[in-house]
Structure 1
Amino acid sequence: MKTERWSVDKDVDKNKSYPQIKEAASFLHKNEVVAFPTETVYGLGANAKSDEAVAKIFAAKGRPADNPLIVHISSTSQLQDIVASIPEKARKLMDHFWPGPLTIIFQKKQGAVSDLVTAGLDTVALRMPDHPIALELISTSGLPLAAPSANRSGKPSPTAAEHVANDLMGKIAGILDGGPTGVGVESTVIDCTGTTPIILRPGGVSKEEIESIIYQVEVDSSLKNQEQKPKSPGMKYKHYAPAAPLFLADGEPEWLQTVINEKRNQGLKVGVMASSETASDYDADMILDCGSKANLNEVAHSLYHVLRAFDEAQLDIIFSETFPETGVGAAIMNRLDKAAGHNWIRQKARP
């Protein structure tokens, strides 16, 4: 398959017509799949109403069909066509965080979207992205777009069009290139179908920010319990992983350097993902600074880019420092834990 690639300035003007976006929208109406930028990561969009179109998402990604997808919309009128009702707490969150990196789960109207989108569930996950190209594409097409991250399943999510091309060129109809994304980690997913909203996936909107609006929110216990199956789209399988085995290292840089030295003495090529505060403390084959622990938004923004960069170095093993789980740090550590397959090494306490 030939994959078209269109470049569009991120600052699109709603009063102007963009032939690139019109052409991309025409592919969507033909039930083809088009990658597009959002404020979190690049999404892999297709007509959420069409079984044929949605099936092409799963085929392109190599994603298991029992993993539900998030539907992206550009207006509340689209929302009303898809959901059975809008709970008051969901409405408060929409008013405050939409457009933005917050996905809300509602009870769905039967037949409103393809059953492939919801994996047969009676609920549907929706969000309104805060990115002018994404909103213009959805609006121009007039379609709700099912859109997981635009990467091969299991790989780090794409924060640049080049990442999408590396994974999916020849497998999808087109890529709208709007430059690098902003937040860097995917949206927060919150289930508002019950009495108390439950965060199913930490992301670009923190628990603390949500609590400032609706006061009481729970966190899905499966995020901490590896034996439980997660309920959120995109969280059921190992994800976000670089090619080399990744281990999360909980300890001081001096201790981690001894571990690095042991692996290099064994002939292994070692990579380290470190904070700005400690990157210069390490000696390894590849050391990547992912941002300051004092500015976790910076870390979130660079996370997937750094994980992908390790692949280019053909490393044998990667170690990553850990980060505070406050604010967006919860999303950072969730993604790193998934990328590492829950593999940690910990410094022994001193006697």
Structure 2
Amino acid sequence: MNELELALARLRAGELVAIPTETVYGLAADAANLDAVARIFALKGRPADHPVIVHIAGSAQLPQWARDIPDSAWKLAEAFWPGPLTLILKRQPHVLDAVTGGQDTVGLRAPAHPLTHELLVRFDGGLAAPSANRFGHVSPTRAHHVRDEFGAECPLVLDGGPCDVGVESTIVSLAGEHPVLLRPGGVTREAIEALLNTPLLHHQDSASAKMRASGLLDSHYSPRTPLVTGEYANILPAIEQALAAGEPIAIISIGTWPAHGPQGDVYPMPDNPEQYARLIYDKLRQLDKQTYSRIFLQLPPITPGWLAVNDRLRRAAHSRI
């Protein structure tokens, strides 16, 4: 029995399997099996009212999970599935409250990773699959991240290599009168607006402000080592003070760290948002294993291309200067 067949057998038996996607690795269980979904929440330490995204093979499965599906959902699925886009739609009555957090909506996504796509086609159902990490911690983008996270409790991990996108999916709610961007991600706001020919509302400015969805908590994606973020000029005095005091710190820079700046353990990151997104969780996890007392991170520009990265860094930071 190969690993894919073993994963199918375990999922059908109500067990957990860590799966690769193009965004991050997910902790998967049969979305129609209440006990299996409960195992996800128990292993992650996830609050019971926090909904999980259901992963499906493609748009043909939409009616199995959602009702009153608007034309905009079909358009987005045709354009961006399989891919890093989650659609929030009105749920079918049979969808478990454990999956939806007791809400009348369900999040659905068709991941693009070929290994997981084949798994979903053969499973012929939906997989509830939040990120494969303890709740609130940095998401995993490599198979060994999942093993590091759970240790002896780790389930079977399908190793699909490093994740191509590296940050979680874009979430768009189509459950109301207007489409709402709940979380930025691998599909850009501009691409969605261009396809729908209408602006996306921001969830904080809409009727969906109280909607619960994955990754919307103020504190999320955080390393255990305190993460301090800010623009170069703002974090510079704190870095200089920490180094002068002999504090063991790490510095994550955007591009090359200025030669005239304080010289410590500097870890340059790409100044391209796609490359940065692909690497940032791995970098945070690497530094979290060291003996640093704090990690200082130079924030990227506040421009549309950096929207998803800045969203994650805002939630990951323990403090911002």
TM-score (norm 2): 0.93
Letter in 1 for 2:297: S
CA-CA distance at 1:222 after TM superposition: 7.3
2:266 is the alignment partner of 1:287: yes
For residues 77 and 229 of structure 1, do their structure 2 counterparts lie closer, same or farther at Cα, with a shift above 3 Å needed? closer
**3-state DSSP class of the match of 1:264?**
helix
Which of 19, 25, 36 is the equivalent residue of 2:8?
Answer: 25
2:277 is the alignment partner of 1:300: yes
Identify the residue that residue 71 of structure 2 maps to in structure 1. Answer: 88
* Aligned equivalents of 1:222, 1:169: Cα separation in 2: 41
For residues 229 and 306 of structure 1, do their structure 2 counterparts lie closer, same or farther at Cα, with a shift above 3 Å needed? farther
CA-CA distance at 1:235 after TM superposition: 2.0
Letter in 2 for 1:129: P
* Aligned equivalents of 1:325, 1:89: Cα separation in 2: 29
Identify the residue that residue 127 of structure 1 maps to in structure 2. Answer: 109
CA-CA distance at 1:78 after TM superposition: 2.0
1:299-338 equivalent positions in 2, closer than 5 A:
299-338=276-315
* Aligned equivalents of 1:62, 1:322: Cα separation in 2: 30
For residues 45 and 39 of structure 1, do their structure 2 counterparts lie closer, same or farther at Cα, with a shift above 3 Å needed? same
For residues 87 and 300 of structure 1, do their structure 2 counterparts lie closer, same or farther at Cα, with a shift above 3 Å needed? same
* Aligned equivalents of 1:248, 1:110: Cα separation in 2: 43
CA-CA distance at 1:143 after TM superposition: 2.1
For residues 128 and 297 of structure 1, do their structure 2 counterparts lie closer, same or farther at Cα, with a shift above 3 Å needed? same
Which of 71, 77, 86 is the equivalent residue of 2:60?
Answer: 77
Identify the residue that residue 181 of structure 1 maps to in structure 2. Answer: 163
Which of 198, 221, 233 is the equivalent residue of 2:204?
Answer: 221
Identify the residue that residue 138 of structure 1 maps to in structure 2. Answer: 120
Aligned CA-pair RMSD: 1.9
Letter in 1 for 2:112: D
Per-residue CA deviation, residues 57-93 of structure 1 (Å, 9 max, x unaligned), is 0111111111100000003232211111210111111
TM-score (norm 1): 0.86
* Aligned equivalents of 2:205, 2:18: Cα separation in 1: 30
Residue 148 of structure 1 contacts residue 234 of structure 1 at CA under 8 Å; is this kept in 2? no
Identify the residue that residue 278 of structure 1 maps to in structure 2. Answer: 257
2:241 is the alignment partner of 1:265: no
Aligned length: 318
Letter in 1 for 2:270: G
1:93-104 equivalent positions in 2, closer than 5 A:
93-104=76-87
Identify the residue that residue 44 of structure 1 maps to in structure 2. Answer: 27
Residue 161 of structure 1 contacts residue 177 of structure 1 at CA under 8 Å; is this kept in 2? yes
**3-state DSSP class of the match of 1:243?**
coil
Identify the residue that residue 235 of structure 1 maps to in structure 2. Answer: 216
Question: Which runs of 5 or more structure 1 residues have no equivalent in the other structure?
Answer: 1-17, 346-351
Percent same amino acid at aligned positions?
Answer: 39
* Aligned equivalents of 2:163, 2:59: Cα separation in 1: 24
* Aligned equivalents of 2:174, 2:258: Cα separation in 1: 41
For residues 20 and 280 of structure 1, do their structure 2 counterparts lie closer, same or farther at Cα, with a shift above 3 Å needed? farther
Return 213-222 or 34-43, whichever deviates more.
213-222
Letter in 2 for 1:184: G
Return 196-205 or 238-247, whichever deviates more.
238-247
* Aligned equivalents of 1:57, 1:202: Cα separation in 2: 24
Per-residue CA deviation, residues 197-234 of structure 1 (Å, 9 max, x unaligned), is 000011111111111101221112279xxxx7663213
For residues 312 and 116 of structure 1, do their structure 2 counterparts lie closer, same or farther at Cα, with a shift above 3 Å needed? same
Letter in 1 for 2:117: L
Identify the residue that residue 44 of structure 2 maps to in structure 1. Answer: 61
Question: Which runs of 5 or more structure 2 residues have no equivalent in the other structure?
Answer: none
Return 98-107 or 264-273, whichever deviates more.
264-273
Which of 213, 232, 250 is the equivalent residue of 2:231?
Answer: 250
Residue 22 of structure 1 contacts residue 140 of structure 1 at CA under 8 Å; is this kept in 2? no
Per-residue CA deviation, residues 135-178 of structure 1 (Å, 9 max, x unaligned), is 01111222200000111111110000000000123324310011
**3-state DSSP class of the match of 2:152?**
coil
Letter in 1 for 2:320: W
CA-CA distance at 1:56 after TM superposition: 0.5
* Aligned equivalents of 1:191, 1:330: Cα separation in 2: 18
Identify the residue that residue 339 of structure 1 maps to in structure 2. Answer: 316
* Aligned equivalents of 1:208, 1:172: Cα separation in 2: 38
Letter in 2 for 1:235: L
CA-CA distance at 1:282 after TM superposition: 4.7
* Aligned equivalents of 2:211, 2:292: Cα separation in 1: 30
CA-CA distance at 1:281 after TM superposition: 5.6
CA-CA distance at 1:334 after TM superposition: 0.7
CA-CA distance at 1:283 after TM superposition: 3.9
Residue 21 of structure 1 contacts residue 140 of structure 1 at CA under 8 Å; is this kept in 2? no
